[in-house]
Structure 1
Amino acid sequence: MLLMLLFLSCKSQQYTLDTLPNTQLIFGKGGGITGVIDTYTLLENGQLFYENSLSEEKKELKRISKKNVKILFDQLDNINLKDVDFNHPGNMYYFMKEVKGGYSHKVVWGKSDVQIDASIINLYEKLKAQLK
């Protein structure tokens, strides 16, 4: 019995889109002719969720390894996203949002004549690579 309790206590909390924790890394893209928005929500336990604004599809994707999640969240911390004031969408736009504790902060880019910091693009590309 004790062994069973220890096993259960080691298993990380499972979430749904309706019961998300206080720490999230949200990213995605939108715009174009349809205006559809694809949103991905990554949690520290490796869970990854997908939402599509047009089809209203919502689903959990394949879990990301704890090692990769730690790298991604560490990179997010190094960027200090909360200190980046950037809202320059284009016809097609990309976004990243950090939710942590009592705050959330979002940056949006895509306008061709305004460039966002390369470290944010780098993290976005790493996040997209996790989707494959």
Structure 2
Amino acid sequence: MRLIFLFSLFSIMLLSCKSQQYTLDTLPGKQLIFGRGGGISGEVTTYTLLENGQVFYNNSLTKENSEIKSLSKKEATSCFQKMDSLKLSEMSFNHPGNMYYFLEEVKGEERYRVTWGSNDHEISSECKDFYKELRTAIK
């Protein structure tokens, strides 16, 4: 009897540790969004990373919306920490080119976005490097 109780208690604790899973219709208030767009087609590719590691993909031309490979919780936490260190809320950078790239931080109702691609305006190397890290992580 005691063994069954301990096993049940352990099972409940294990199941409660599993992180919340979201859908495109039930996204949480904190998100890290990044992507690219433009060119001849005007296609915009967007990735949405959540704190639990889930990654959602959207393509504006094909209208494809799907969940893709998830990151580990540790990787996702690291990405959100790096995003915080960029302090997008203190930046004002909107200089898209024919092809453009973006990083966006969502915190509830607040959204902070930087867009770059113009040859006339250079974004910080930290933003570019972080964007490359994100792209590499989801491949």
Using the aligned pairs only, state the percent identity. Answer: 53
* CA–CA distance in structure 1, aligned partners of residues 125 and 88 of structure 2: 12
More helix by share: 2
Q: 2:123 aligns with which of 98, 101, 116?
A: 116
**Which one-letter code corresponds to 2:90 in the other structure?**
D
Give the CA deviation at 1:102.
3.2
Distance 1:65 1:9 in 2: 17
Aligned to 1:11: 18
Inter-partner Cα distance in structure 1 for 2:90 and 2:59: 28
| Aligned equivalent of 1:57, options 43, 64, 69 | 64
Please list every run of 5 or more consecutive structure 1 residues that lacks an aligned counterpart in the other structure. Answer: none
Q: Does 1:77 align with 2:75?
A: no
2:27 alignment counterpart:
20
Q: Relative to structure 2, which stretch is displaced further, 98-107 or 84-93?
A: 98-107
Matches within 5 A, 1:87-126: 87-126=94-133
TM-score normalized by structure 1? 0.95
Over the residues paired in the alignment, what is the CA RMSD in angstroms? 1.0
Q: Output the TM-score relative to the length of structure 2.
A: 0.91
Deviation for aligned residue 1:17: 1.1
Runs (4+) off by over 3 Å: none
SS in 2 for 1:74: helix
Structure of higher CA gyration radius: 2
Aligned residue-pair number: 132
Matching residue's letter, 2:97: G
